[in-house]
């Protein structure tokens, strides 16, 4: 990706002039902020979770090599291939060679900033391979030949009219400014791409060393499609994404969606461990994990800046940043925008090249306050400003040569291209030196004050200055400046101390009311809130003691909140009846089902549709095109989580991943005793890693597929199902 | 109770009336004040600009002036947090100076923090009326200055103090914890961005229906007042001390 960080000042100015962009930025950032706040308000131990997440990241980065080695072993054990790429060039080359070896013509991609970082799309295009971005926002941006402007909503800078125009021009679609219609157009176009791609490339939010599990969070279902349909799946993952064990995962699964979009959990969470197992119904036959260094291990050597690597890429710091809210993502000039981008980008493109970024911040600290892993972003920006003004500290001599040194741009040790004296403008240096010389001497300070108050006179009108000379002229572009007081405080002090301090007024008052109101004693600081153990909040809140029925009520409520529907039945017969009614109400012609889906028998399911003109096809062994032709997919589920309204599906023999993904309606069933309170309870069960290791894919489904990528308008069913039903079978309920 | 004034360079040179108001409020509460005349600046502008060497020079001067003082009060959250939090950071590699800096950390207090947490006063017995304003209550909005709020964790104290002023009604400011866009040198280096952020703050203040906007940092207030004045908006921006002094 082209580096335009040196044009920050001008790009920011352009963004400020763009009224539509200003509105879009305002809407997006305030919406996400509000939702984030509401989500954390519901999470009583949110602060403790942040501390925990931070600890995990710190601990992992401390022994990163160990964890990476373990990850490598686990992935290999699961049948996957791991490639450690020192830089972007190596990563691109590996993926290209893999694609060429398999004769891949088309690659479908789910959102990955890491792939932007290494310029993967450009590399694929040069080799004659078509990379297709499949996240709706990314797709729009790619069609327009632009770059993402926000981590979560890449196309916030585009209006629905622009999208309509784009689709008409590039896809020959009918012109419609109805957002649901535009989403449908993208669904149809991209569905075709998914079915014909030879390779799927995804990023990952986390890679679990213990099990070799790559975790992907998303809302649209495009990442599920990318990692399920094509015969090869490549996960391109920055090496800092490793976490030690599956048990560490719930902490992040709770924090990341809440910080990013204010969701309790993303619509889809995929836990992918290796390629499809032999007996499994579907999934890619090859799995490659490309672990990218590209300067990360060098960043890790920096005792201060290393914490920038803890970043989860949630985007919360963008939304809350007063500067980002005004200038948007493009102004930052490279892949990573916003406050965290201002820390990361200089490392990748060189501090001299990106010297505006650390300076373009008010250091207000709002970013640190919302960061799910408590990165001290203002502190890091101050560090970088220090490097700019005072020259870069020496790189650690303990660094093995050649490891992670080169950047995408082939500049060795990019940040250290700085001269020993730094890169701050000379004018600024001289002024600062002068200022320090004045401020450290009370005499010079007094003298300067007197001079300035005399020199300013011609410009002062009613105590204000409307135009300041350079280098302060920026201030008076849009603000008046106060004049230096004729008599500074220090001169007034003498009279004050003679008058008020010792004299009548102060003494008179002293014995009076004010004294009486004063309560002596130790300053009262607010006592810290009573924290609970992580994960205990749901149980405490919802009252486990009230038993199963309250759990089911909670499941029903949460499922409803995310747009799903719960049907409570008492027997297999009732479940089948419910299935039949649902199929009739959607007027489906073809349904696809899992071969095995306890507690229902396959024959029972088939019988449910007897007498209706509905074709029932078993999901295993069918070509995806045929599955895609079905309007309804029927699956069982492993568990449901009451706290979030989540279904947990495990890929197995006869239980394909695509059945719950391709059709418009997804209907699942589950015995009521499989409802668990929340994520921790689930991970307590799969925490021994057996479940994760036994299957290539665990999928958490929370509501139908959704997007808000066009003008932040929530639209259902962009890639995955638009309807979700859960039939809960409460055997023996009276 | 004795306290030492750190008046800050901004108040000393541009807003001495804020210093006077602070002296007025504190001495009425029976605090005996002293003002070391050798004081200048805390060094924050250089520190925030990345000029650590220059900042350290000024900071050493500050330390030698205020060393040994039992209790220091300043009318600024950002200057207070500079001394409290960033001095020890600045002298990280100079153990002797770091020790001296750390000794000051617990002794410096921001004005409203000093009133509420140290003196235990929430009502200074002030009343306020806008000059020439109608009888009745004056609507006041409080802006949370970033360093005061996030470095020092002070947000309730100033509000309590404002609420107890007679003749004043504290109105809600939407997104009050949002930065006003000042940011020190940022406001001069990137005036277009700084101004755009300020515009949003000004809109919020206007929407609140306030007649006076109060904050505890003259940096923010200079910036907000500068914008109000340039746009000819007849709203008053003042420091908490001025309101409490019933100016």
Tens digit of each residue's pLDDT (9 = 90 or more) over A530-572: 333 334 334 333 334 457 789 999 999 999 999 999 999 999 9
Question: Given A358, A479, A518, which is nearest B226 (Cβ)?
Answer: A479
Per-residue confidence band for A76, with pLDDT thresholds at 50, 70 and 90: very high
**ipTM score assigned to the predicted complex:** 0.96
CA-based nearest residue in chain A for residue B174 = A30
Flag whether pLDDT at B98 surpasses 60: yes
| B 71-110 → A contacts, CB under 8 A | none
Domain A45-297 matches domain A549-729 at the CATH topology level:
yes
Question: Given A322, A501, A518, which is nearest B178 (Cβ)?
Answer: A322
A362 contacts in B (CB within 8 Å)?
A: 146, 179, 181-184, 186, 194, 197
Flag whether pLDDT at A454 surpasses 50: yes
Coil/strand/helix, residue A480: coil
Flag whether pLDDT at A431 surpasses 80: yes
B121 contacts in A (CB within 8 Å)?
A: 514, 517-519
Q: Given an 8 Å threshold on Cβ–Cβ distance, is A501 in contact with B23?
A: yes
Mean pLDDT of A696-717: 95
Q: Given an 8 Å threshold on Cβ–Cβ distance, is B191 in contact with A478?
A: yes
Nearest to A117 by CA among A212, A18, A3, A217: A3
Strands A646-650 and A697-701: antiparallel
B41 lies within 8 A of chain A by CB = yes
B23 lies within 8 A of chain A by CB = yes
Q: Is the N-terminal amide bond of A322 cis, ω within 30° of 0?
A: no
Structural contact between residues A414 and A347, judged by C-beta atoms closer than 8 angstroms: yes
Flag whether pLDDT at A520 surpasses 50: no
Domains of chain B: 2-118 (3.40.50), 138-244 (3.40.50)
Q: What is the CATH number of domain A549-729?
A: 3.40.50.10420
What pTM was estimated for this model as a whole?
Answer: 0.91
Mean pLDDT of A645-650: 96
Query: For residue A622, what pLDDT is reported?
Result: 76
B29 contacts in A (CB within 8 Å)?
A: 509-510, 514-515, 518
Flag whether pLDDT at A193 surpasses 80: yes
Q: Given an 8 Å threshold on Cβ–Cβ distance, is A489 in contact with B177?
A: no
Q: What is the CATH number of domain A45-297?
A: 3.40.50.10420
Min Cα–Cα distance to chain B from A140, Å? 28
Per DSSP, A565 falls in state: E
Query: For residue A533, what pLDDT is reported?
Result: 34
Question: Given A358, A385, A464, which is nearest B229 (Cβ)?
Answer: A464
Flag whether pLDDT at A336 surpasses 80: yes
Query: For residue A16, what pLDDT is reported?
Result: 97
Report CA-CA distances (Å) from B110 to A412, B116, B219, B224, B240: 47, 10, 14, 20, 11
B47 lies within 8 A of chain A by CB = yes
Question: Given B15, B30, B123, which is nearest A515 (Cβ)?
Answer: B30
Nearest to A325 by CA among A458, A445, A156: A156
Please give the residue that has the higher pLDDT: either B71 or A734: B71
Q: Given an 8 Å threshold on Cβ–Cβ distance, is A386 in contact with B11?
A: no
Query: For residue A411, what pLDDT is reported?
Result: 38
Flag whether pLDDT at B59 surpasses 60: yes
Min Cα–Cα distance to chain A from B134, Å? 25
B38 contacts in A (CB within 8 Å)?
A: 442
Per DSSP, helices labelled H in A321-407 are 322-327, 338-349, 356-359, 366-370, 377-390
Question: Given B57, B184, B194, which is nearest A440 (Cβ)?
Answer: B57
Would you list the DSSP string of B15-29? -HHHHHHHHHHHHHT
Residue appearing with tokens 């622009």? A162
Flag whether pLDDT at B247 surpasses 80: no
Flag whether pLDDT at A405 surpasses 80: no
Min Cα–Cα distance to chain A from B206, Å? 17
Question: Given B27, B41, B47, which is nearest A501 (Cβ)?
Answer: B27
Beta-carbon pairs below 8 A across chains A and B: 241
Q: Extract the tokens encoding A307.
A: 């914490």
CA A219 to CA A235: how far, in whole Å? 18
Q: Extract the tokens encoding B84.
A: 């409290």
Per DSSP, A422 falls in state: B
CA-based nearest residue in chain A for residue B36 = A490
Per-residue confidence band for A626, with pLDDT thresholds at 50, 70 and 90: confident
Question: Given B12, B19, B179, which is nearest A362 (Cβ)?
Answer: B179
Mean pLDDT of A51-60: 98
Min Cα–Cα distance to chain B from A157, Å? 18
Domain extents in chain A = 45-297, 309-416, 549-729
CA A481 to CA A460: how far, in whole Å? 9
Q: Given an 8 Å threshold on Cβ–Cβ distance, is A492 in contact with B20?
A: yes
A439 contacts in B (CB within 8 Å)?
A: 9, 40-41, 43, 57-58, 61
Mean pLDDT of A203-218: 97
Residue appearing with tokens 């519901």? A42
**Which tens digit of pLDDT belongs to each residue from B179-196?**
999 999 999 999 999 999
Structural contact between residues B173 and B155, judged by C-beta atoms closer than 8 angstroms: no
Question: Given A12, A382, A500, which is nearest B23 (Cβ)?
Answer: A500
| B 177-196 → A contacts, CB under 8 A | 177-179, 181-196
Say which range, A189-203, A412-426, A550-564, has the weakest mean pLDDT: A412-426
Structural contact between residues A716 and A722, judged by C-beta atoms closer than 8 angstroms: yes
| B 115-174 → A contacts, CB under 8 A | 117-125, 146-147, 150-151
Per-residue confidence band for A419, with pLDDT thresholds at 50, 70 and 90: low
Question: Given A439, A493, A518, which is nearest B58 (Cβ)?
Answer: A439
Report CA-CA distances (Å) from B176 to B155, B164, B242: 10, 20, 20
Structural contact between residues B109 and B83, judged by C-beta atoms closer than 8 angstroms: no
**A643-660: b or e for each residue (b if 16 or more CB lie within 10 Å)?**
bbbbbbbbbbebbbbbbb
Mean pLDDT of A698-708: 96
In chain B, % helix, strand, coil (3-state, to 5) comes to 50, 15, 35
Query: For residue A687, what pLDDT is reported?
Result: 56
Q: What is the CATH number of domain A309-416?
A: 1.10.1060
Query: For residue B133, what pLDDT is reported?
Result: 64
CA A337 to CA A333: how far, in whole Å? 8
Would you list the DSSP string of A667-709? EEEEEGGGEESSHHHHHHHHTTSHHHHHSSEEEEE-SS-EE-T
Q: Extract the tokens encoding A118.
A: 């290494």
Query: For residue A545, what pLDDT is reported?
Result: 44
CA-based nearest residue in chain A for residue B13 = A488
**Which tens digit of pLDDT belongs to each residue from B110-150?**
999 999 999 999 999 999 988 776 667 899 999 999 999 99
Min Cα–Cα distance to chain A from B235, Å? 14
Flag whether pLDDT at A514 surpasses 50: no
């Amino acid at each position: 990706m082209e580096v335009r960080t040196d044009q920050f000042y001008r790009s920011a100015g352009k963004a400020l002039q763009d009224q539509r962009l200003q509105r879009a930025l305002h809407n997006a950032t305030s919406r996400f902020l509000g939702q984030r706040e509401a989500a954390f308000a519901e999470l009583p131990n949110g602060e403790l979770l942040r501390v925990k997440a931070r600890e995990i990241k710190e601990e992992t980065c401390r022994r990163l090599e160990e964890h990476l080695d373990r990850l490598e072993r686990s992935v290999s054990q699961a049948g996957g291939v791991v490639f450690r790429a020192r830089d972007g060039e190596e990563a691109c080359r590996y993926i290209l060679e893999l694609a060429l070896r398999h004769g891949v013509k088309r690659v479908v991609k789910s959102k990955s900033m890491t792939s932007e970082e290494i310029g993967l799309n450009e590399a694929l295009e040069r080799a004659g391979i078509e990379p297709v971005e499949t996240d709706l926002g990314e797709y729009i941006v790619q069609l327009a030949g632009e770059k993402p402007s926000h981590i979560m909503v890449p196309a916030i800078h585009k209006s629905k009219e622009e999208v309509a125009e784009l689709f008409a021009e590039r896809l020959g679609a009918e012109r419609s400014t109805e957002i649901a219609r535009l989403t449908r157009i993208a669904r149809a176009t991209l569905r075709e791409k998914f079915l014909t791609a030879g390779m799927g490339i995804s990023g990952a939010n986390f890679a679990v060393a213990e099990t070799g599990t790559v975790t992907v969070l998303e809302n649209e279902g495009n990442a599920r499609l990318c990692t399920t349909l094509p015969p090869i799946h490549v996960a391109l993952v920055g090496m800092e994404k490793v976490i030690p064990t599956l048990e560490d995962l719930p902490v992040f699964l709770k924090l990341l969606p809440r910080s990013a979009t204010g969701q309790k959990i993303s619509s889809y969470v995929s836990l992918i461990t290796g390629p499809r197992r032999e007996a499994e119904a579907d999934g890619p036959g090859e799995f490659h994990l490309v672990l990218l260094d590209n300067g990360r291990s060098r960043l890790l050597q920096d005792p201060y800046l290393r914490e920038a690597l803890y970043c989860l890429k949630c985007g919360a710091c963008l939304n809350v940043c007063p500067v980002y809210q005004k200038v948007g993502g493009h102004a930052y000039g490279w892949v990573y925008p916003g406050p965290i981008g201002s820390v990361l980008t200089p490392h990748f493109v060189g501090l001299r090249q990106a010297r505006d970024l650390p300076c373009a911040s008010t250091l207000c600290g709002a970013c640190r306050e919302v960061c799910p892993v408590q990165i001290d972003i203002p502190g890091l920006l101050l560090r970088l400003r220090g490097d700019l003004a005072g020259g870069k500290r020496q790189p650690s001599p303990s660094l093995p040569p050649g490891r992670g040194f080169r950047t995408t741009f082939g500049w060795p040790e990019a940040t250290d291209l700085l001269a020993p004296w730094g890169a701050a403008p000379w004018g600024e240096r001289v002024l600062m030196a002068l200022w320090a010389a004045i401020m450290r001497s009370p005499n010079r300070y007094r003298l300067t004050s007197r001079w300035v108050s005399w020199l300013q006179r011609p410009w002062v009108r009613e105590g204000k200055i409307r135009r300041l000379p350079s280098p302060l002229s920026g201030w008076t572009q849009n603000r008046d400046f106060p004049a230096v007081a004729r008599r500074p405080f220090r001169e007034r002090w003498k009279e004050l101390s003679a008058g008020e301090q010792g004299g009548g007024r102060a003494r008179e008052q002293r014995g009076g009311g004010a004294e009486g109101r004063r309560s002596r004693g130790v300053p009262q600081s607010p006592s810290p809130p009573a924290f609970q153990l992580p994960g205990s909040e749901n149980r405490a809140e919802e009252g486990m003691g009230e038993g199963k029925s309250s759990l089911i009520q909670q499941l029903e409520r949460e499922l409803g909140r995310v747009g799903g529907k719960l049907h409570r039945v008492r027997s297999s017969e009732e479940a089948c009846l419910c299935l039949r009614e649902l199929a009739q109400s959607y007027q489906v012609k073809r349904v696809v089902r899992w071969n095995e889906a306890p507690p229902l028998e396959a024959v029972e399911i088939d019988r449910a549709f007897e007498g209706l003109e509905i074709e029932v096809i078993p999901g295993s062994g069918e070509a995806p095109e045929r599955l895609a032709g079905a309007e309804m997919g029927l699956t069982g589920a492993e568990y449901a989580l009451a706290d979030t309204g989540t279904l947990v599906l495990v890929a197995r023999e006869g239980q394909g991943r695509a059945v719950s993904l391709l059709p418009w309606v997804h209907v699942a069933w589950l015995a009521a005793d499989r409802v668990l309170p929340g994520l921790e309870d689930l991970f307590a069960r799969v925490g021994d890693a057996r479940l994760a290791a036994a299957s290539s894919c665990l999928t958490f489904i929370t509501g139908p597929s959704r997007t808000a990528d066009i003008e932040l308008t929530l639209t259902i069913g962009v890639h995955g199902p638009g309807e979700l039903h859960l039939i809960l079978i409460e055997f023996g309920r009276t | 109770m004795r306290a030492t004034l750190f008046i800050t360079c901004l108040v000393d040179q541009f807003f001495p009336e804020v210093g006077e108001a602070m002296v007025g409020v504190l001495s009425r509460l029976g605090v005996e004040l002293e003002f070391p005349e050798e004081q200048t600046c805390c060094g924050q502008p250089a520190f925030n600009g990345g000029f650590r060497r220059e900042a350290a020079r000024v900071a050493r001067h500050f330390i030698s002036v205020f060393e040994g003082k039992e209790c220091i009060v300043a009318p600024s959250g950002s200057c207070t947090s500079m001394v409290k939090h960033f001095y020890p950071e600045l002298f990280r590699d100079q153990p002797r100076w770091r020790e001296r800096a750390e000794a000051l950390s617990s002794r410096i207090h921001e004005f409203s923090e000093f009133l509420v947490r140290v003196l235990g006063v929430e009502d200074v017995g002030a009343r306020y009326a806008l000059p020439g304003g109608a009888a009745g209550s004056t609507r006041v909005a409080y802006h949370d200055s970033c360093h005061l709020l996030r470095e020092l964790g002070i947000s309730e104290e100033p509000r309590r103090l404002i609420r107890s002023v007679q003749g004043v009604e504290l109105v809600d400011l939407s997104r009050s914890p949002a930065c006003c866009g000042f940011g020190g040198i940022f406001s001069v280096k990137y005036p277009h961005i700084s101004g755009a952020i300020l515009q949003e703050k000004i809109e919020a203040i206007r929407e609140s229906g306030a007649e006076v906007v109060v904050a505890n940092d003259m940096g923010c207030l200079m910036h907000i007042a500068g914008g109000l004045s340039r746009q000819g908006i007849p709203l008053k921006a003042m420091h908490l001390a001025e309101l409490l002094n019933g100016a």
